[in-house]
Each structure stands twice: as structure tokens, then as C-alpha cells.
Amino acid sequence: MDGLRMSPRALLVLSLCSLAPLGVLSIVQPASTQVIAQAKTTLETGSFKKAEAPTTGKVTIVSEGGGRFVEFDGAFSTTDQAPDMHVVLEPMATPPQSYKSLNGFVNLGRLQKFKGAQKYPIPDGIDLKKYKSVSIWCRMANATIGYAPLK
């Protein structure tokens, strides 16, 4: 037999075509992607007050996606004249003007911006029942710039 010569590719295509009517081949559709909304629960809220400088806006502590966060609303505003400002959880509703010890509060990090919405993660293991306000604190001057008592 002067055999029929086929390229390997042609042989593969022919083989696949012969198997298709037998139901051996099937088209697999990718699973649909569903976006599941993470529930956001408000734990506490407060409104900023002036300490060393005018500070306005609202703060909310939320639980979301397995974590807890301090969120400032879009109306948040504080001075841009103080260097090295940080966001802290404070055990007193009205924090001191300056700290004698740096052990009583939780520093959530540097202030991201002087105006507008922003979000800060709260470390795991922090007992929020111990904290009564969120403060904007100037580390360099050891001064409370503004604060929001929590309710």
C-alpha cells in the first residue's frame, strides 16, 4: 500500500474530529465569576474636634473583610502646618495636649493626607473597648492636633 502520508497536525485534527460525535470531547465553560460583597459593619463613630489646630470631619471604625479599620470621611480636614502627624487610638475621650508616656495609645501610622477620605488598618488583638477617641497627633511636637470622641 502506497500509504497515505499525513502530517502530525492533520492526523491530530482528524482524530479529534472523529471523537467529537462520540461525546468524548466537550467544551468546558469557565465558571462564572461572582463578586461577593463584603459586609461592612460600623462599630463606632465620632466627629473631629479642634485641639491644637482646627480639625473637622467624621471618623468611623468599621469591621470589613475580616479586618477592622479607622476611616475618615471626605469632609476630614486638618492643618498642613504640623510635621510628622500620626493617627492614634486614644484611651481617653479627650486626649492630653501632649503625652508624658508613649505607651498608652495605639499608633496606626502616619497621616496619609491633610484632607479627604482615608483608611487605616487596626492591628489584630487590639481591644477597641479600651479606646475612647481617635486622635491626630504630631509626633515631632508631641501635640494633639485634633481628636474625635467615639460613640
pTM over cut 0.75: no
Query: Which residues, other chains included, contact 130 with Cβ-Cβ below 8 Å and sequence gap of 6+?
Result: 91
Local mean pLDDT, 10-residue blocks, the chain (151 residues): 56 48 50 65 98 98 97 98 96 93 92 98 96 97 97 95
pLDDT tens digits, 20-38: 455 544 444 555 555 556 6
Count CA atoms within 13 Å of residue 124 on its CB side.
2
Cell numbers found for residue 47:
466627629
Domains in the chain with CATH codes: 40-149 (2.60.40.200)
- Residue with cell string 474530529: 17
pLDDT tens digits, 71-88: 999 999 999 999 999 999
**CA dihedral of 139, 112, 150, 54, whole degrees rounded to 10:** 70
